[in-house]
Amino acid sequence: MTIRTEPWRTTAGGERPLAVPRHWDLIGAPTGRLLMDLASAREALAAGRNSESAQISTRLLALLPGRRAAAVAAADADGTQQVDVIHACVLTVLGRAIEAAEPDQAQVRFAAAVAIFDRLVAGGAELKPAELVDHGTALARLDRLDEAFEAVVTALEALAAVPVDTIIRIVLTLRERHDLARAERLLQLAIDVEEDDPRLAQRLAETRLLDDRPEQAAAAYVRAGTHFGAGGQPGEALHCFEQAIGLSHDPVDAMMGRSFALADLAGPQVALEAIESVRDSHPELEVARAFQAQLLADLGRVEEALALLDSGLTMSPVDPVLMAARVRVLVTTGRRAEALDTVDEALVAWPGDVELRRLRARILRQSGRSAEALGVLQELLAEEVADLDDRVEMILTMVDLGRPVTALAETDHALLFTPDSADLLACRSMILLRLDRFRDALDAATRAVGLDHDHVMALSAQAQALLRLDRHDEARKPLGELLRLVPDSPEIRHTLGGLLLDGARYDDAEQLAVEGLRIHPGEPSLLLLQGKVRVLVGRFQDAVVVLERAERGLAKAGGPAAAVTDVQAHLGEALRRLGRDREALVHLDRALEAGPDNAFALGTKGQVLRASDKVEAERHLRRALELDSTLNWAHTELGELLRAEGRLAEALESYTAATDLAPQDAWAWGCRGATEYTLTRDDEAAASLARAIDLNDTYAWAWAVKGALLMDQDELADCLLALGRAVQLDPTIGWAWTIRGWAEELLGMREDARRSFRSALAAGGGGAWAEIGMADLLLQDGMPAQAEQRFRTILKAMSPRDALELAQAGWCHLRLDECRQAARNFGEALLLDDSMHSVRFDLALALLGTGPVERAVEAYEEAVTRLREVPSPGRRRAVLRIAAHDLPTVLTQPAYRETDQRSLTVLQRLLQPDGSAEPNGAGR
Amino acid sequence: MPWSMLQGRVEALRLNLERARDLSVRELALDHVPLEEGVWDAAFDAIRSDSVSRLWELEQLSTGIDRSPHPLHQRVAWQKLAAIQEQSEDIFRECLELMGGLTFRERDLDNQICTFADELINECARSVGRMLTTIAIPAHNGGRHAGARHIAHVQFPEWDVWTLPLVTFEYGQVAITDRPEIDAFARKSAIDVHHGLGADQDVIEERIRALLSDAFATYTLGPAYACALMLLRLDFVAPDPDCREFVAQRVAMVRGILARIADGDVADLHDKLGKHWDQALHLVLGTDPGAADPLERLALDPATVFDTFNWFFLPQAAYAVDDWDTAVQWGSRWCKELRDPKLSPAVPAVAPINRLRDALNASWYARIHEPAWVTEGADVTRELCQQIIDIRGRTRRPPGVELPGAIRPDP
């Protein structure tokens, strides 16, 4: 016999069956897990997260048949019954979750649930309160109201919370049947359990009114109105209070409530009129006096408010309500010391008064005495008289005291009891921000905002978290909301303005600053925002004006170092753009003194230094990029610096970083294209320049570089078009005119070429090449004397220092028939830059003028051989075209007159396009 | 056992030659000496090839000793071994010199003078065409085949800028051989002289090539070479009249080339240099020119040599008046600064167009006019050389494409 053993059930000591939990199912999860999931589904439903609840329920429903089958197979009657109960409850929860979207499907679920419940009850099963609630709910949905009533009442008597809509559904049916007694009983029971839900009190009031008991109805309306008001529904509250006023003989509470509601709905002035009418009829009401004083203070009539309270205090010197009101008014006006004296005085008379102690704690915190404030709040908590606001205050006080971890623990503890408190969630978010847990902070803030769209702290935390997560676009929304809620906050305006600037919404940002400055004239942060906008839109002089105002404002107020740095850095930038480099440096140095690691200031200083000290400029730019690698303009600037130094590979790296960061930056693409062109990476250069022109088709320099590239690619017609566009956009780009002149000369358009060279010289940027072009045309036109004079003038003005200038000098000597000197210049140019293929042909041409012809032919052959190394066919064609053009052009010169035809034929064959210079040497 | 002793010697030599043959630059792990592969091959291939030849001869000898049906006589075998051994000593010396020199450079014991020498040779090589350059190593005396093997020697202990021009002489031997027309000219000149003198043609050709190398060095480097050679190197009181005459011929060649370059200040320097030389010669030797050199009439016309060079080397190879202008400008400024106690000689501003030969000529110009310009001059010249190397090739700009204005965010 083979005994099958299961290795996971054995131990070293031998085979031993493991203890299996009683409700262990086939899949391996205990029933407790099902109950937990059911609780989660109920919780989601209670929080209004219906789809989440439906998802959980659906998942549970899929698991239940298997589990039931397992229980049946194990002959586990209790287990089977428990699964059935869970099944019925899940069906009810699911029905409620989908009720709004799929009412028919919901009815099916309720019917199925009731069927199971009925079977269980008939089988003698005793349902627990929560199960009774589900049973009653399902029955109510099927209009089996008597049974539903019984089930729900039993549940309420066991203090189980019943969904308010279930209660209301039963109550409405009972009212239709004129069974007002049972309706009132049900509502009273429900209010005992869910005392804060104003809808129950409202239905109670209506029921009592039907029962013709107006005074009691009015009391219920007042209760409903109070809860509506406390729950942030002043409109509903006002309706209830007005109902109560209409029903009661002495509706003082309702009138008070109406005043409160009006304060929220219509502002302090309307509320003041309402409360004054209350006080007219009930002058003894100190609560009304206190509220009136508060409204006066809100309207800026502080002294009247204090006089009103003082007159009340004359009659009742230690009335805690009046004293608390006095304290609030004083706090509103910033008179904290006086407020603290008042509250301390009141506490002598009323040492245990919670409101006074609460006020004391807040004043202490506002006065920077957070440790004392925390002590007071902890006492309130220990005495179990603290409310949620006190708890929030205590948490914020802990944060003030630099104890964010303790504050977080306290917040999480509080959230266990009130998971849907927007205040607590906002607190949690703010604390998490302090702890650099930005993603968690964002989650908490988003939940808080979901619960209360106008929660300032939550919106602020959400915005900050998004900013710290570099999700700037998304941060704009909460900041916009904040601005709506707190329109006079300069900080919010400044932050939002910064985000608008990031999004290139300059007009909106300026508008924001202007509006803010109307509220706070001279506010440095708003002036800074305005200055930044003006720098970005190119209004540099205007920028200097506002930034200097900001600078003065900060100096006067002793503003924070970060603000000083920002203002000074932007002043530096504005002055740099005005060409006032020396002044710019002064401000940039000040910026760096206040904030040595400010990347913007470092980068801008690097830009300024480029003109005077390249080493320092590079150091500053590199440091700026170390600190903030996202400064695309600094990458471009560094690229330009490196390109000017001939460090092309490094320059290209910088430009690539810039274009990666800012793909819409035409300037960076243009510089990148120019560098790629210089590195003879023609395809890449063409793509980059096309991108630059695509982004900004008035970018003259990019058009000009494109023209140069096309010239080098032997695309002369397109070259003329590109250069034409360049000089049309900016006629001062002299070298573009010069290249255009060459292209025209090569195409035989001598008159156009002459005009182009002349324009180049007029533009002042044509350099020696334009002069040489003009002199060359004179020689071609048969005016050797004038040409010689011109060439001599060029040489006289020239002191060749690099390969390019040597090549220019070489060409002048060649055209002056000084071929040996020309050859020497070309040779020296090649020593400095071996990649100048055209110059190698010039050298060969010069050697042809010095003899022997064999050496010249050898030099031409070498030039052609080296040209084969050039991968671009276009570039090879262009060089050959120029060489082929030059050879017959110089033949009229004395030095070349003896060149024999046979040699010329050899050379002409060498210079055939797509022949000898092809890499495979097809033409040779 | 005399027979086995011979075998033992053969075996020992074989092992040594194999070691020389298998020598690799990788063993040196050079990090700081920029050694082109082609240069190493050119420098070492001859050593390797000689080693292989000697090994082959050794193998023949070994066969002759114990595997031939007619074994060699013992005395003959010993004589053959001695001959191979003697030839092998040259190989071992060259190996040691090359490896030692490179190691010396790697450790920077030469104070970077070989780096300058490399650069000077490189400049020269590029100016005459695309020829393989030569690696400079410190040594006491140049090897016999140094030039042909692309090795130039910086003489120990003259490790300063004053003798630096002399490395061009060794590169000259390479350049002359590499340019077929000039190589042919050297050979033809040797044949012509041989016909006239009847001396050993190899000796004559060796001298002709040395004189051409002097001409080449003067042609490409200008007065700096002439000064270094005549004032610091040539031994005009050599006891051997043969040598003395050769010295005179070298001086004549150098002065002849200088005279062709001569124009303005170069002529002035040429005269000054000649005067120094003649005076020294007169003071030391009096009127006794010593015994006659059998090769005294070895005549090579500097003018012909100059024209030949002009014809076959590219124009930028030649030292020219423009170059001398730069030397005079820098050199006179140093002289002025030396004469003024308030000033100290400074490195002038350099441009990419400047070459090391400009620095060396300027320095020699200053030294000829201000003999105190030795130690300080060497330091300033070194600094100037370094700046020239640094600036070389740093900037390359495409014609016309200037930078855009420093503007942002968009042009």
| Per-residue pLDDT, B404 | 34
* Chain B touched by A656 (CB under 8 Å): no
Which pLDDT belongs to residue B263?
57
pLDDT value of residue A436? 86
Question: What are the extents of the domains in chain B?
Answer: 2-109, 169-317, 321-393
Measured CA to CA in angstroms, residue A204 lies from A442, A567, A795, B391 at distances of: 41, 63, 108, 96
Amino acid B150: pLDDT: 67
Which of B189, B102, B87, B200 shows the shortest CA–CA distance to B151?
Answer: B102
Does residue B289 have a pLDDT over 80?
no
Say which residues have a Cβ less than 8 Å from residue A898's Cβ, sequence separation at least 6: none
Bridge partner residues of A463 (DSSP)? none
Q: Check A646 against B395: CB less than 8 A apart.
A: yes
- The mean pLDDT of B383-391, rounded to a whole number, is 89
Of A823 and B1, which is predicted with more confidence?
A: A823
Residue B405 binned pLDDT confidence (cut-offs 50, 70, 90)? very low
Q: Three-state SS string across A310-375, please?
A: HHHHHHCCCCHHHHHHHHHHHHHCCCHHHHHHHHHHHHHHCCCCHHHHHHHHHHHHHCCCHHHHHH
Contacts of A633 in chain B (CB under 8 A): 408-409
Give me A108's structure tokens. Answer: 């099916």
Residues of chain A short of pLDDT 70, as ranges, are: 1-30, 503, 765-766, 914-924
**Chain centroid to CA B78:** 39
Interchain CB distance below 8 Å, A823 and B314: yes
Nearest CB neighbour to A708, from listed B126, B314, B400? B400
Which tokens sit at A747? 């195409």
Q: Which amino acid is at A921?
A: G
pLDDT > 60? residue B69 = yes
| Residues A166 and A136: beta-carbon distance below 8 Å | yes
Residue of B nearest to A609 (CA): B406
User: Which has the higher per-residue pLDDT, B159 or A19?
Assistant: B159
A residues 813-852 closer than 8 Å to B (CB) = 820-821, 823-824, 826-828, 830-833, 835, 843, 850, 852
pTM equals: 0.56
Among candidates B392, B395, B411 on the partner chain, residue whose Cβ is nearest the Cβ of A667: B411
Q: What pLDDT, on a 0 to 100 scale, did the predictor assign at position A548?
A: 94
Residue A571 structure tokens:
């002043």
Residue A512 and residue A493: Cα distance in Å, rounded? 6
Residues 706-745 of A with CB under 8 A from B: 708, 735-736, 738-739
pLDDT digits (tens, 9 = 90+) for B311-323: 888 888 998 888 8
Residue B93 has pLDDT above 80, yes or no: yes
Please give the average per-residue pLDDT across B334-362, as a whole number. Answer: 90
Contact state of B393 with A636 under an 8 Å Cβ cutoff: no
On chain B, the residues whose CB falls within 8 A of the CB of A852 are 311
Band the pLDDT of B196: cuts 50, 70, 90: low
Taking a contact as any Cβ pair under 8 Å apart, which residues of chain A between 254 and 293 contact chain B?
Answer: none
- Tally the residues of chain B: 411
Closest CA–CA distance from residue B205 to any residue of chain A (Å) = 27
For chains A and B, count residue pairs whose Cβ atoms are closer than 8 Å.
116
Collect all residues of chain B within an 8 Å Cβ-Cβ radius of residue A704.
401
Nearest CB among B315, B351, B398 relative to A824 is that of B315
Answer whether B304's CB lies under 8 Å from B189's CB: no
Which amino acid, one-letter code, is at B220? Answer: T
Instruction: Measure in Å the smallest separation between the Cα of B135 and chain A Cα atoms.
Output: 19
Contact A708 B410 (CB under 8 A): no
User: DSSP letter string over A641-685?
Assistant: HHHHTT-HHHHHHHHHHHHHH-TT-HHHHHHHHHHHHHTT-HHHH
For chain B, say whether A643 makes contact (Cβ under 8 Å).
Answer: yes
Q: Among A182-186, B150-154, B264-268, which is the least confidently predicted range?
A: B264-268
Token reading at A261: 């509601």
Decide: B381 and B245 in contact? Cβ < 8 Å: no
In contact, B295 and B197? CB cutoff 8 Å: yes
Which pair of tokens denotes residue A909?
């064959």
The two structure tokens encoding residue A205: 């009031």
Handedness of CA A785, A791, A792, A794 (dihedral sign): positive
SS3 content of chain A, % helix, strand, coil (to 5): 75, 0, 25
For residue B293, the 8-state DSSP code is P
Closest by Cβ to A739, choosing from B123, B317, B400: B400
Q: What is the pLDDT of residues B20-64, one digit of tens each?
A: 888 777 777 777 777 776 777 777 777 888 899 999 999 999 888
Q: What is the largest CA-CA distance in chain B?
A: 94
Which pLDDT score, from 0 to 100, does residue A505 have? 78
For residue B409, whether the previous peptide bond is cis, meaning omega lies within 30 degrees of 0, is yes
Question: Is the CB of residue A804 less than 8 Å away from at least one CB of chain B?
Answer: yes
Phi-psi map region of A206: left, alpha, beta (phi>0 left; psi -120 to 50 alpha): alpha
Tell me the C-alpha distance between B245 and B295, whole Å. 8
Q: What CA–CA distance (Å, rounded) separates A467 from A454?
A: 19
pLDDT of residue A745: 92
Backbone φ/ψ region at A128: left (φ over 0), alpha (ψ -120 to 50), beta: beta
Q: Which residues of A touch B396 (CB under 8 A)?
A: 646, 648, 678, 803, 833, 835
CA-closest candidate to residue B203, choices B174, B239, B243: B243
Distance from CA of A735 to the nearest CA of B (A): 5
* End-to-end C-alpha distance for chain B, whole angstroms: 94
How close B349 comes to chain A (CA, Å)? 11
> Mean per-residue pLDDT for B118-129?
84
In the prediction, which pLDDT does B394 show?
53
**Is A832 close to B352, i.e. CB distance below 8 A?**
yes
Q: Report residue A470 as tokens.
A: 């570099």
How far off is chain A from B345, nearest CA to CA, in Å?
23
Amino acid identity of residue A902, one-letter, is: R
Neighbour tally for B346: CB within 10 Å? 12
Q: Band the pLDDT of B91: cuts 50, 70, 90.
A: confident
What sign results for the dihedral spanned by CA atoms A892, A897, A902, A907?
Answer: negative
pLDDT of the residue at A616: 94
pLDDT tier at B277 (50, 70, 90 boundaries)?
A: low
DSSP A505-539: -HHHHHHHHHHHHHHSTT-HHHHHHHHHHHHHTT-
**List of chain B residues whose C-beta atoms are within 8 Å of the C-beta of residue A536:** 409
Percent of chain B with pLDDT over 70: 79
H/E stretch holding A877: helix A873-890
Nearest to B408 among A667, A696, A831 (CB): A667
Q: For chain B, say whether A523 makes contact (Cβ under 8 Å).
A: no
Nearby residues of A624 by Cβ (< 8 Å), 6 or more positions away? A599, A600, A602, A603, A606, A631, A634
Q: Which amino acid is at A407?
A: A
Distances (CA, A) of B263 to A823, A839, B217, B219: 20, 29, 18, 14
pLDDT at B181: 87
| Amino acid residing at A881 | R
Task: Please tell me which of the candidates B312, B351, B407 has its beta carbon nearest to residue A802.
Answer: B351
| Torsions phi, psi for B29 (to 5 deg) | 45, 60
What DSSP designation does A801 have?
-
CA distance B378 to B158: 12
**For residue A11, what are the β-bridge partners?**
A14
- Output the pLDDT for position B298: 58
Amino acid letter, A51: S
Q: Is B155 helix (H, G, I), strand (E, B) or coil?
A: strand
For residue A702, the chain B residues in CB contact (below 8 A) are: 411
- Interface check for A678 against chain B (CB to CB < 8 A): the answer is yes
Nearest to B403 among A643, A802, A835 (CB): A643
Burial of B276 (0-12, 13-18, 19+ CB in 10 A): middle
Give the mean model confidence (pLDDT) for residues B146-150: 57
CB–CB of A259/A274 below 8 Å?
yes
Question: Could you tell me which chain A residue has the CA closest to the CA of B308?
Answer: A852
